[in-house]
Amino acid sequence: MTDRLHGSARRTIGIYAPLLLFVAFALFPIYHMFLTSIKTDRALYNLNLNPLLVSLGALTAEHYRLLFTDTLFASWLMNSLIVSLSSTAIAMVISILAAYGLTRIRFRGAATFGIAIFITYLVPYSLLFLPLTRVVTWLNLADSLWALIVTYPTFLVPFSTWLLMGYMKTIPEEIEKSAMIDGCNRLQILTRIIIPLAVPGIVCATLFAFSLAWNDLLYSLVFISPTEKKTLTVGVLTELIRGDVYFWGSLMGGALIGSVPVVVFYVMFMDYYVSGMTVGAIK
């Protein structure tokens, strides 16, 4: 009995203590960002105050107000939404078609193309931004949101195709045969049988594609320069830091608002998210 108790106490310390350390490491920066965004500048830049806390008198929504009144934050937010949603939608249509074709139709070259998809999935997206500037210039898309809508699929399509392929492989082939006998052609099989069954995989791929697009900094930095056309990431980074002048409160507020859509999706679909994370490695 004492041994048990002893064991459980040791267990608590041995497991929960390090686990809480990890949690603290994970959450502290987010906590600190939040705190910064709701503190008055006076409290923020007072070295004598404890930066881990905030007194009630030092609370303010001023930083958030500033974002929406003195900057084009609302436009950036809108731009990011437009770009991320459109490129994700385009990528999903392309990926669903490709994943279905590659997993379910035995045509010559399917295996090779599957491997090609996988290789492009591994190509780091920072490898190709320079030649892509040329493509964008030729298409006459520079400084337009279309530049991003067109180029984001370069890293969205390989990823979501690969993810969906892993998912579609788990749908038994007999269901499809059955649908064929029931009178469906390939496109009907896809829309009436496979897509409804692949909903978890599609949700997961959409989630990831959206986060990837939303998180992009490099492409939108390179392809877009007018302030009002900027996406959120670039807008916050380039317009709220002017030389040496940092608007830390607004900066953190902007960064948090910029994280909200993704985090909301994440909270709604955490299990899909986890399955999508591991699919690349395990499948």
Distance from the first to the final alpha carbon of the chain? 45
**How many CB atoms are located within 10 Å of the residue 223 CB?**
25
Of the candidates 7, 93, 170, 228, which one interacts with another protein according to CB under 8 A? Answer: 93
205 lies in the binding site for another protein (CB under 8 A): no
Which residue lies nearer to another protein by CB, 27 or 61?
A: 27
141 lies in the binding site for another protein (CB under 8 A): no
Count of residues touching another protein (by CB under 8 A): 108
16 lies in the binding site for another protein (CB under 8 A): yes
4 lies in the binding site for another protein (CB under 8 A): no
Of the candidates 26, 56, 69, 243, which one interacts with another protein according to CB under 8 A? Answer: 26
269 lies in the binding site for another protein (CB under 8 A): no
Of the candidates 59, 61, 116, 268, which one interacts with another protein according to CB under 8 A? Answer: 116
25 lies in the binding site for another protein (CB under 8 A): yes
Q: Which stretch binds another protein (CB under 8 A): 56-64, 66-74, 141-149, 243-251?
A: 243-251
74 lies in the binding site for another protein (CB under 8 A): no
Round to whole Å and give the CA distance between 223 and 279: 32
Which residue lies nearer to another protein by CB, 59 or 111?
A: 111
- CB of 77 vs another protein, minimal distance in Å: 12
CB 239 within 8 Å of CB 72: yes
Round to whole Å and give the CA distance between 49 and 259: 28
- CB of 248 vs another protein, minimal distance in Å: 6
165 lies in the binding site for another protein (CB under 8 A): no
CA 31 → CA 24, 37, 51, 259, distances in Å? 10, 10, 11, 13
282 lies in the binding site for another protein (CB under 8 A): yes
